[in-house]
Chains A and B, each alone.
Chain A
Amino acid sequence: MASPIPLRGRLRRYGTSYAMLLPFLALFAGFLLWPLANSLYLSFTKFDGVNPAVFNGVDNFVQLASDTRFRHALGNTALYVVGSVVLGTLLSLGLALAFNGSSWPHRIMRTLFFLPSVTSSIALMLMWKWVLYPSDVGLANTIVDWLGGQAVAWLATPGLTIPILVLMSVWGGMGYGMVLYVAGLGSIPEEYYEAAKIDGASAWRQFRHITLPLLRPVTTYVVVTGLIGAFQVFEAVYIVFSQGANTIGGVLDSGLMIVPYLYDQGFTHFRLGYASAIAWVLFLIIFVLSLVNLRVGRAMKEL
């Protein structure tokens, strides 16, 4: 394709455009594309960060498949992801339906539920750690005491780790989902409901046949971004459940998940090649989820 404009003219015409694109593209290539390719390469090597990386084929991935800690981390992540996304989405929707008005009580309730989304996440985690303090000085155990129970070692009981992580995630995230749902509800034309009322549709039928279907794009967004976020959980495990400087994942690894394990292998044990393989497993999971998101999004548009 020969361009009608001579080279010098094209340079003059497009030079500025490329110059304006350059800062973004240079940073994008330097700190995203190149590292991404590099992490793929590193995932096929043995690399301790000091000595040069040694190519060892698919060894890391073979090892991952039989790594009991990694399988444990995957299982924990799956439980956590399902629990937090299902509960979080249902509560977000419930809150939006309950408080979508413009009156001040509704606005106050919305602000209240949204508060964790704008609070420092580390502060929230430290707060939870203090609420769940093992002895009777903690808030949770004080309440247990009121109810006549024995103090619970919240953070040292393996069976409670995932439920607590789910609880913290839902508590912190439902306000954000609520805001999305409130916006979604606001975009449903009032006439639909009026028409349904005239036809004598009950509140439940209106919800079932108008509200829910029209909220589907919002639900897809809330669920998929929730899934993607949940797969990347780190702070909650690192701050609330790590015991001492060198163990991560809580008692008996009961809270070990993908990103904490990546950190553990990469920056505590300096197995950077192995950690890169974990990073690529995470990438593949999130890539598939994103594709599903696109697919569902496109399908919705065609409907």
Chain B
Amino acid sequence: MAVAPMDTIAPVQQSPHGTATGSRRSKINAHLLRLPFYLLALTMIAPFYWLLITVFKPPRELARTPPSFVPESPTFANFYDPEWSPAAINPGHLQGIFQRYQVDLGFWRFMLNSIFITTAITVGSLLICSLAAYVIAKHDIKGRRTIFLLIIASMMVPWQTTLIPNYVIMRNLGWLDSYAAYIVPALAKAFVLFFLVQFLQSIPNELIQAARVDGAGEWRIWWRIVLPLLRPALAAMSIFIVLAEWNNFLWPLIIVQSDEMANIPVALARLNSYFGGPDHQGAIMAGGLLASVPTIVFFLIFQKYFTKGIALSGIKG
């Protein structure tokens, strides 16, 4: 039975005329079937293209109908408008995105806030979660099953449920409008711990036992053996954390009061609620573009890890 199909496959696959034309036809068919998706791809590009050209249009061009699809007089004024002055209102000139905020460093301030917060949360949560994951996966302590179960169960809680008490806690601690309010509550991430525990369970205990026999302490084992072993898992998780924290909006919206402490999403949302006219859209889109560049570049560099990380989380989860 195992050999028999061999004779039957060969003639079927090598039928003299049909296959060549058939495969060409099926190739054309396959492309025809994809046609709706190519059209869909156009709708993916169009809004991005619209954003991109808006950024380089001068105010006068932005308010014109019908709009232009290639900027006729490209300009960087939406980022920095050299002819704008705060004293005189000069029509046709608006503040660029870097001139719009009354804080030191202007728009850079929000970029730096976002970079600092995202980095701190990513590094901090990976360290804290990997420590806990190491104990839960590799230490035989009392209560670890209960603890793990509790952490898994907590993944079912939408974080918005804890929004109001956490806001009250921040206020009572006097942390509103501080980096601490951004960072500290975001460090213990149940899904990161869960993912790292799963990953560690697939790593043989012998590696860790060998280090113990050699007299290495637990902290040293975590730092020198567990963390390097976890590298692929940490890479996948850092991508999720970076994206989520860079785009975090609702929590910052309620804890941030001063302009100085806003992250990029909050700064852009405030800009959006102050200015509505079409001639302001250039600067708003310039802000949106600057907000997106870091994560898009990050993605293009680490593309492989991105898709692998998503695939891992989806198939395992």
Contact = CB atoms under 8 A, between A and B. Distances in A.
Interface of A: 14, 16-18, 20-21, 23-25, 27-28, 30-36, 38-39, 42, 49, 91, 94-95, 98-99, 109, 111-124, 126-131, 133, 135-139, 142, 145, 171, 176, 179-180, 182-184, 187, 198, 217-218, 221-222, 228, 231-232, 234-235, 238-239, 242, 244-245, 259, 262-263, 266-267, 272, 275-276, 279-280, 282-283, 286-287, 290-291
Interface of B is mostly: helix
A198 B165 contact: no
A283 B162 CA distance: 10
Interface stretch (B87-95, B100-108, B124-132, B203-211): B124-132
Contacts of B292: 118-120, 123
B44 A113 contact: yes
A43 to B, nearest CB: 9
B303 A111 contact: yes
A137 B288 contact: no
A228 B156 CA distance: 9
Contacts of A28: 151, 154, 188, 190
A235 B244 CA distance: 13
Nearest to B134: A20
Nearest to A151: B65
B54 A130 contact: yes
A136 B265 contact: no
Given A24-B193, A35-B166, A217-B315, A115 B296 contact: yes
Interface residues of B, number: 96
Contacts of A235: 249-250
Nearest to A276: B164
Most chain B C-beta atoms within 10 Å of own C-beta, residue among A24, A28, A287: A24
Interface in B148-179: 150-151, 154-158, 160-169
B296 A112 contact: no
Contact of A183 (B37, B135, B315): B315
Given A32-B188, A218-B315, A122 B288 contact: yes
Given A120-B288, A127-B51, A234-B249, A27 B166 contact: no
Residue picked from A17, A116, A231, most chain B C-beta under 10 Å: A17
B84 interface: no
A272 B171 CA distance: 14
Contacts of A290: 155-156
8 contacts: A20-B219, A27-B185, A31-B188, A32-B190, A232-B160, A234-B249, A235-B250, A279-B164
A272 B147 contact: no
Nearest to B296: A118
Interface in B224-249: 243, 246-247, 249
B50 A127 contact: yes
Given A20-B135, A27-B187, A218-B315, A259 B250 contact: yes
A115 B161 contact: no
Given A14-B141, A244-B273, A137 B64 contact: yes
A234 B159 CA distance: 13
| 6 pairs of A and B residues whose beta carbons are closest in the complex | A183-B311, A123-B288, A27-B188, A35-B165, A24-B132, A35-B162
A103 B146 CA distance: 47
A38 B161 contact: no
Contacts of B46: 139
Contacts of A137: 62-65, 67, 278
A142 B50 CA distance: 12
B51 A21 contact: no
Given A126-B284, A127-B288, 20 more contacts: A14-B141, A20-B222, A21-B132, A23-B131, A30-B169, A32-B188, A36-B157, A113-B41, A118-B306, A122-B268, A124-B288, A130-B281, A137-B62, A137-B65, A137-B278, A142-B66, A171-B47, A179-B310, A183-B310, A279-B160
